[in-house]
Amino acid sequence: MTENLSLTSLPLFPLGTVLYPGGSLSLRIFEVRYLDMIGKCHKSGAPFGVVSLTEGSEVRRPGDVPSGDGFAHEAFNAVGTLAKLVDFATPQPGLMMIRCEGTRRFRISRHEKLKHGLWVADISQLPDDQCIAVPDDLKKSATALGNLITKLRERDLPASEMPIQAPYLLDDCAWVANRWCELLTMPLELKQRLMELDNPLVRLELVSDMLERNGITS
């Protein structure tokens, strides 16, 4: 098991999605606070934290009511996922196109908003999911995911555009459950609760029930 570490002043990216360990997330960035943050992460190789919003929106919009510091009110969950940059491009000034990969989950112990609107936090990294083989009664979920991956690969998409990235760990409960959590349509709050579960077998059992209800069995 990986040692649990603490980090201070981790830059945060609150989003209307949940990033899972092993997941891939593409972002188009144009807000100054995040252009600066991602630029620094790119130069240093440092991670940033993705947290799901409970209040507010990803992008400031006309009509947003500012808080006392001039920025719209934002609130987010205390558990998020560290993200490392995988692809980085600046197609034009003031625009970044990135792809990042989720690594480890973390819990926020303290957070603050800096004067230019960027959130930073002190965090403790949570234990990695245990590596548990997919049991026989849940193998249908893994088989269905494998079939979906095969169909996606037949489209000859560039590797960077594949919604599911290799390596394909189809016999690992956490990996199979996490990929289905990313793919299935469900409320953001439910995605968050599933990500926070510390038992990957239970997570896969819950996901398998959803697949059964949606008729996705092979």
Q: Give yes or no: residues 15 and 115 share one domain.
A: yes
Residue 1 lies in a domain: no
**Long-range contacts made by residues 202-210, C-beta under 8 angstroms, separation at least 24?**
203/173, 203/174, 203/177, 203/178, 204/134, 204/138, 204/141, 204/173, 204/174, 204/176, 204/177, 205/138, 206/177, 207/141, 207/176, 207/177, 207/180, 207/181, 208/138, 208/140, 208/141, 210/180, 210/184, 210/186
Position 214 confidence tier, pLDDT thresholds 50, 70, 90: confident
Q: Is residue 198 part of a domain?
A: yes
Look up the CATH number of the domain holding residue 84: 2.30.130.40
Would 16 be classed as within a structural domain? yes
Looking at the structure, do residues 72 and 180 belong to the same domain, yes or no? no
End of a domain among 125, 159, 192? 125
Q: pLDDT tens-digit profile of 191-210?
A: 999 999 999 999 999 999 99
For the chain, give the percent of residues with pLDDT over 70: 91
Check whether residue 113 and residue 142 sit in a common domain: no
* CB 104, CB 69: distance < 8 Å: no
- pLDDT number for residue 71: 62
The CATH number that applies at residue 153 is 1.10.4060.10
What are the pLDDT digits (tens) for 128-171? 999 999 999 999 999 999 999 999 999 988 877 888 999 999 99
10 Å Cβ neighbour count for 183? 14
% of the chain exceeding 90 in pLDDT? 79
- Is residue 23 located within the same domain as residue 96? yes
Residue 131: inside a domain: no
Q: Could you say which of 68, 101, 125 is where a domain stops?
A: 125
Whether 143 and 120 share a structural domain: no
Pair (32, 93) in one structural domain? yes
Quick check: pTM over 0.75? Answer: yes
Domains in the chain: how many in total? 2
Of 125, 144, 176, which closes a domain? 125
One domain for residues 145 and 105 = no
pLDDT in tens, 71-80: 668 999 999 9
Q: Alpha-carbon distance 150 to 78, whole Å? A: 36
Domain ranges, residue 68: 6-125
pLDDT at 1: 46
Mean pLDDT to the nearest integer, 7-28: 95
pLDDT digits (tens, 9 = 90+) for 98-134: 999 999 999 999 999 998 899 999 999 999 999 999 9
